[in-house]
Amino acid sequence: MWQAEHVKALLETRLGWQVALLGMTTLGDQILDRSLSKVGGKGLFVKELETALLDGRADLAVHSLKDVPMDLPAGFALACVLEREDPRDALVSNHFSSLDELPPGAVVGTSSLRRLVLLKALRPDLKIEPLRGNLDTRLRKLDEGQYQAIVLAAAGLKRLGLAPRIRCAFEPAQMLPAAGQGALGIEVRADRRDLLDALATLAHQPTWLAVTAERTVSRAMGGSCSMPLAAFIREPQGGEMTLEAAWGEPGADGQGVAGQPLVRAEHRAPVRSFADAEALGERVAASLRAGGAVWAAPAPQP
């Protein structure tokens, strides 16, 4: 809802539109007893919103871009991507100020396969436990003592005025962010040329190019938002972008393969168009596959 309110304010101040919010609860919000990778991935957060677009109840939908499937269904389009907030992951703990301070075998909460494999690569001894629910629910579970630390997106905490809960933000060199993390995307029906043209004026082109490259890696690796994949564009310089990706092995027990080396890939290239961004993403994905990265998605559970 913060994201929707943010976009509402932009549309009203910059385009002069009158905007009403249609609040919705998605299937991804409702299924909290299983990890996303086991129930169909993060696309569960957008299906109901797309139905509202299709039947005319809504004109546009606001998404966290990292929750949006790499390929939208036929008839839908991404109208724009807004300027990115802090893309980093954040450690939240009531007693420890860094990952290094956590005691051996500490319980850390996250339901992200990406965070799981990156945490295990940094600290093989940690016990990673599932953590689902909205931000308040996740913080409450931490405060109740169910975890010694949890890992969340810094952007979400900052947007909700909860930045003081962040004990430390992981630099990308330590924990590489997810593709599109920290960026908001606006989705519309593909036949709404009026909206596509108007919303294009809100786009932040450097962010859009960066997340296009990152999301292309995900698409090339299998298209799932819930893969054990990190992909991130470092600060562009002089029209060039450096795209880094990391791939881990989640392990049969869902705990990650302790100490398993990550497959990493990095390439730099001039990026001035979406075609350039996609080519860079494809190149990085090819390097990951050459390094042995392969994704066998879990079968969704009813």
Residues in a beta bridge with 265 = 245
The neighbour count for residue 193, using CB atoms within 10 Å, is 11
CB burial of residue 92 (10 Å; 0-12, 13-18, 19+): buried
DSSP 201-243: GG--HHHHHHHHHHHHHHHHHTS-TTSSEEEEEPPPBTTEEEE
Instruction: With beta carbons less than 8 A apart as the criterion, state whether 183 and 82 touch.
Output: yes
The neighbour count for residue 185, using CB atoms within 10 Å, is 26
The neighbour count for residue 206, using CB atoms within 10 Å, is 16
Beginning with the edge strand found earlier in the chain, give each strand of the sheet holding 229-233 in spatial order: 229-233, 240-247, 263-270
Give the closest residue to 232 by CA, choosing from 247, 249, 213, 248.
213
Cα–Cα–Cα angle for 138, 166, 218, rounded to 5 degrees: 70
Instruction: With beta carbons less than 8 A apart as the criterion, state whether 81 and 184 touch.
Output: yes
Q: In the numeric block, which tokens belong to residue 228?
A: 């054990």
Distance of CA 236 to the CA centre of its chain: 20
Instruction: With beta carbons less than 8 A apart as the criterion, state whether 129 and 66 touch.
Output: no
User: Active-site positions?
Assistant: 67
Close Cβ partners of 64 (under 8 Å, ≥ 6 residues apart): 3, 45, 156, 180, 183, 184, 185
